[in-house]
Structure 1
Amino acid sequence: MTINKFDYLYRKLLLTKYFVNGWGDPEKLKSLFQFRNIIVNRDSCFKLVSSDYPVEIIKKNEDSDSITLEGVFQSPFSYYLPDIVPKESHFAHFQVLLPKKWPSKNVKPMCVHMAGTGDQYYWRRRTILAKPLLKEAAIGSIILENPFYGKRKPTNQVRSILCNVSDIFVMGGCLILESLVLFHWCEREGFGPLGVTGLSMGGHMASLAAASWPKPIVLVPCLSGTTASGVFTEGAISCAIDWNLLEHQYKSNSMYKNEVVNIDNEVKKLKKEFNAGKQFIKDFHSESCLDIQSNLMFENSEYNKSAINTCHSQQLNNSSSSSKFDDTDDSLIEQNNEFQIKKNLKSIKHIMQFFNTQSKSQGCIKLY
């Protein structure tokens, strides 16, 4: 049995079904899609959260080598759409892990960690990611609890299994605005440069957060794509969705059908950017990395052959010889290629050292 089939079987037999209540309240869906027109634009989205948005630190613990903070703030999304966000998710909870002593007074790098599917509470991201980053690179971490997860889980929800399709949109909207709150808080506290990361669904949410921040930020999405739709429609989770229920609701309630049609019309406005990405991937795969490498090596060889011919011609002229070096020995080309590669690597190393020196003076992340 392949891993893919095993994954499907595991999902089908062991895990609770997703979206057991269907699409969600159609009125709430309508409000969500109207608000989406604001949040998908970075300029209008950024204005939704003020730079002095209130954040409260409620706990502080110190260890031998680190400081742990816990904080809370009202999710801006619940402020704008209070009836759509479950009351348990109205307040965002987060944990901060800081070094006791920063290597530099001017550089205090901080990374926000988004949760993957089912990653509730802080311990997993703290143990696997935050602590190693702190120990190895003196990078602080902010671990944000997802809406519908952990302390923010609705009482009628089983574990981290979302009850409605609309909950996915609520989760994404909450995390985008909550990330802006945390980025602003980091700036007020003197932390930076800033980064955001996540695994799987967390990587997708990290991408949404980074796209909503208009200032320089490091983005490291791990094992994620540009959209989460394929995971639900074609991936392993597709086996855990009651498609018959969704189809029945869609056909029996005209409001669902009308809203879906309207969504499609709105999405068409963004197709220019979407198609640009598709075209890039198509062009990239049309010429494989091996082909690109071969072309570069060929061009470099032709250039080196020309250079060797010129050099050798000069030597022959000096010895009053009229013969030409048209059939250059391949071993000479190979030796010259190796020399050029070493020379280029040395130059690149010098350039990176220069930028690294500049980054330390300007408060930027090391390049390597």
Structure 2
Amino acid sequence: MSTSKLDAVYRSILLTKFFTKGWGKPENLRRLFEFRKVVSNRDECFKLVEKDYPVTITKEQNLSDCRLLEGYFVTPMEKHLPGIVPEIAQKAHFQMLLPIHWQEQNCKPVCLHLAGTGDHYFWRRRNLMVKPLLKEGIGGIILENPFYGLRKPTDQVRSSLHNVSDIFVMGGCLILESLVLFHWCERNGLGPLGVTGLSMGGHMASLAATNWPKPLVLVPCLSWSTASAVFLQGVMAHSINWDLLESQYLSDGAYREKLSKMVTIVDEAFLAGKKFAQTYSQRMEAPNETTDQIIKNVIEPTYPLDITYKEKSLPHISEDVLSRKRKEVPIAMEAKKKFAQNENDKLKILLDENKIRQSLYDKLTSNEKFELESQDIEIINKLSEDSKREVLLKCKIDNKTFNSKIEPITTEIILEKSKVVNTKKIEAVPAIKDIEKPKTEKKSWNVTDLTSDLWVNLPFMKSSGKKIDIGKIHWRDREALQFMRGIMDECTHLSNFSIPYDTSLIIAVCAKHDAYVPREDVGALEEIWPGAEVRYVDAGHVSAYILHQSLFRSCIKEAFEKSKKKWTDGKHIE
């Protein structure tokens, strides 16, 4: 699916940079990884926040269209991980808007709204989401994110989190603070309850919903199953100083090894293996399934196969295999000869059309080493792309060429769309010739669809290994990027958390062309949370945020209507 160009342009004009001070203290990362194991388990996490957790109301006011409350409480995160939350962020501020008159006295729906990236203070969510929903009879709580607004450290600029660890501190705080507010709502006779958010707020809402042991409306908008793709594959990846992160990561080998063992990369292969393990375990534990049934499932799968099993005696099978192997050798040799002949025929056509000289043709079709003179190089440059490929496939660069000293630039060679300048005569040998075992191991690079050694030996194709251009490399290509993927998946991937109590109350809204939140190779929301509904808008991240606010609100209203059907006498019915 194509991504939105508007997303990329919008991100490029923003000044916000992330993780400008690096990873954060290694000890803090270790503590967060350990704490993740607790908050990812609903039964254990729910015990961390008391039902009567103290909440202070500082303001209560009746306005013309609603009832306004403001308050605060100390984040439970400080209690369980002392010193990890900055002092200014330890006090969780919130604002609450309730209808003056409830549509139903026994049903007082309230939705918690979590902030997206850059959403400081309360005004944006209050005007765009909460007030319009008040007209539908749904109250709203607006919680200030740690590191944002009233909770922003004095030395932090805008939304620029200083450390990678800060995003995990923020997530841990919001999970526990959401539980505080849900408990507080229940004590005050409010419900059914729900949680929502846009972009980062949508993902934080998803994490918060995993730890409430009762039916809970969840409407995550413009988010997905993990934050790893956002920072490694989305447009926000360009707002991170990867060179700083890599240098810090490589500075302490012993500690790096210890931390890396604590994280797991969650991709589609991991999820497939996890699903297989669960299914296999269930089969082995199933009391009614006999060994014969298991064998039948293996040899008679439900999906179609193009293989027919025929029982044969072992001698006949061995003979068939040997016979086939004998036939494969001459076939392979014949194919090799045919390929070489075809290449020579194509070169003969170029010669007949006077596109190459006889001397160049003789070099390319010979079995001897040869040098390309400056006239030969000029002729090759004038060929079409296809013809140029045919010529280049017939030769490979000799290693000695580039081990020698470089002479002054005199000759220009144009390969593909790049301009390459080289001064040495290119010594080449036929590519069809039997491959000799190289003296030194070469590093394999998938540079183009041409697999000739020419491409991997040209100096301009070799990486310096110093700078990280996130737009040109895959996250698996550098160890620091792998670690970032690992810790993001470890602490934010929804598959590492409990499944929400009632997934039928989940309506996720995603943008088809979202360049901020890529959805490839990270696990689908519907598979992680069976029963959840995912809807898509034909837009990018930015355009969806601007144009589809009404859709987000309508999904919240619809999810609460579902919840009301399960709500009687102030509580959910099973």
* TM-score, normalization by structure 1: 0.73
- What residue is the counterpart of 2:128 in the other structure? 128
Q: Give the aligned partner of residue 47 of structure 2.
A: 47
Q: Is the 8 A contact 1:145 1:152 kept in 2?
A: yes
Residue 189 of structure 2 contacts residue 570 of structure 2 at CA under 8 Å; is this kept in 1? no
Superposed, 1:286-305 pairs within 5 Å as none
Q: Deviations over 1:95-117 (max 9, x none)?
A: 00001111221110000001011
The match for 1:340 is none
Q: For residue 216 of structure 1, what is the amino acid of its counterpart?
A: P
Per-residue CA deviations over 1:255-299 (Å, capped at 9, x if unaligned) read: 55224422235979xx569854748979xxxxxxxxxxxxxxxxx
> Is the Cα–Cα contact under 8 Å of residues 8 and 239 in structure 1 kept in the other structure?
no
SS at match of 2:16: coil
Shift of 1:236: 1.1
In structure 1, the residue matched to 2:236 is 237
Separation of aligned partners in 2, 1:280 and 1:73: 32
Identical pairs, percent: 57
C-alpha RMSD of the superposition: 2.6
- Relative contact order, CA 8 A, sep 6+: which one is greater? 2
Letter in 2 for 1:47: K
User: Is the alpha carbon distance of 1:27 and 1:280 closer, same or farther for their aligned partners in structure 2, counting shifts above 3 Å?
Assistant: closer
Residues 108-149 of structure 1 deviation map (CA, whole Å, 9 limit, x = unaligned) = 0000001011101000000000001001x1111000000000
Within a 5 Å distance, the mapping from 1:165-244 to structure 2 comes to 165-244=164-243
Shift of 1:253: 1.9
Structure 1 residues 89 and 50 mapped into 2: Cα distance closer, same or farther (>3 Å)?
same
The one-character-per-residue Cα deviations of 1:279-322 (angstroms, maximum 9, x if unpaired) are 8979xxxxxxxxxxxxxxxxxxxxxxxxxxxxxxxxxxxxxxxx
CA 1:266/1:10 → structure 2, altered by over 3 Å: closer, same or farther? closer
After TM superposition, the structure 1 = structure 2 runs for residues 1-368 of structure 1, keeping only pairs within 5 Å, are: 4-135=4-135, 137-254=136-253, 256-264=255-263, 275-276=274-275, 278=523, 361-362=568-569
Contact 1:61–1:68 (CA<8 Å) still a contact in 2? Answer: yes
Kindly state the Cα deviation for residue 82 of structure 1 after the two structures are TM-superposed.
2.2
Q: Kindly indicate whether the alpha-carbon contact (under 8 Å) linking 1:250 and 1:256 is maintained by their aligned counterparts in 2.
A: no
Structure 2 letter corresponding to 1:82:
P
Q: TM-score, normalised by structure 2?
A: 0.47
Give unpaired runs (5+ residues) of structure 1: 283-354
C-alpha distance in 1 between matches for 2:65 and 2:524: 49
Whole-Å Cα distance in 1 between the matches of residues 8 and 159 of structure 2?
Answer: 19
Q: Distance between the aligned counterparts of 1:234 and 1:167, measured in 2?
A: 20
Deviation at 1:30, TM superposition (A): 1.1
> Quick check: 254-263 or 239-248, which moved more?
254-263
Number of positions where the alignment pairs a residue of Structure 1 with one of Structure 2: 289
Name the CA shift for 1:201/1:357 in 2 (closer, same or farther; >3 Å).
Answer: closer
Q: Which is worse superposed, 172-181 or 257-266?
A: 257-266
Q: Is the 8 Å Cα contact of residues 224 and 525 (structure 2) preserved in structure 1?
A: no
CA distance in 2 between partners of 1:174 and 1:31 (Å): 14
Three-state SS of the structure 1 residue aligned to 2:263 is helix
Which SS does the other structure have where 1:183 is aligned? helix
Alpha-carbon distance in 2 for matches of 1:274, 1:108: 43
Residue 20 of structure 1: SS of its match in structure 2? coil
Distance across 2 between alignment mates of 1:11 and 1:357: 40
Conserved 8 A contact 2:73-2:91: yes
* Change in 2 beyond 3 A, CA 1:119/1:212: same
Give 5+ residue unaligned stretches, structure 2: 276-494, 496-522, 528-561
Deviation at 1:16, TM superposition (A): 2.7
Partner of 1:332: none
Larger Rg: 2
Q: Match of 1:94, SS?
A: strand
Q: Distance in 2 between matches of 1:134 and 1:255?
A: 55
Alpha-carbon deviations, 1:127-182, whole Å to 9, x = none? 000001001x1111000000000000011110111010000100000000000000
Aligned to 2:519: none
1:194, 1:218 within 8 Å by CA — same for their partners in 2?
yes
Give, in whole Å, the separation in 2 of the partners of 1:245 and 1:356.
Answer: 47
- Does the 8 A contact of 1:42 with 1:211 survive in 2? yes
Alignment-mate amino acid for residue 89 of structure 1: A
Q: Indicate the SS of the match to 2:215.
A: coil
